[in-house]
Amino acid sequence: MSYMTSAQQAKCHAIIHTASAAAGAVGGGLAQIPASDSIVITPIQLAMVLSLGKVFDLELSDSAGMASLASASGAAVGRGISQVLVGWIPGIGNIINAGTAASLTEAIGWLLANDFAKACCSR
């Protein structure tokens, strides 16, 4: 059963893919500086979470958005491990770090969009 309308799904698609592309660009560009990309990627993901909440008429404060992001970010450990293992290698490290940042942002976005849709429909 889908909880999203096609209009909501289209809006989520645009929000999530934009955030994923931005996170990937940052992750790829800052791969050789350990943990530096997290400082930029976290606000990108927070903006994504807050924007997704608006799609479903959920008023999220910054702290609620951060809590949602934190609960969905368990996979970020894997991103940290990949950055330590190969992120420092020019070229390949940039590609792997960009792909990891983008794919994790994408996964977090859809996970939260589906959760928000269910919460919206259960009201």
Which pLDDT does position 36 carry in this prediction? 63
Question: What is the chain's length?
Answer: 123
Which pLDDT does position 20 carry in this prediction? 95
Which pLDDT does position 84 carry in this prediction? 64
Which pLDDT does position 53 carry in this prediction? 92
Which pLDDT does position 34 carry in this prediction? 64
Which pLDDT does position 86 carry in this prediction? 64
**Tens-digit pLDDT profile for the chain (123 aa)?**
478 899 999 999 999 999 999 999 988 887 667 666 777 888 899 899 999 999 999 887 767 777 777 766 655 666 666 666 666 677 887 888 888 889 889 999 998 999 889 887 765
pTM passes above 0.85: no
Handedness of CA 46, 97, 31, 23 (dihedral sign): negative
How far apart CA 112 and CA 116 sit, in angstroms, is 6
Contact yes or no for 44/105 (Cβ under 8 A): yes
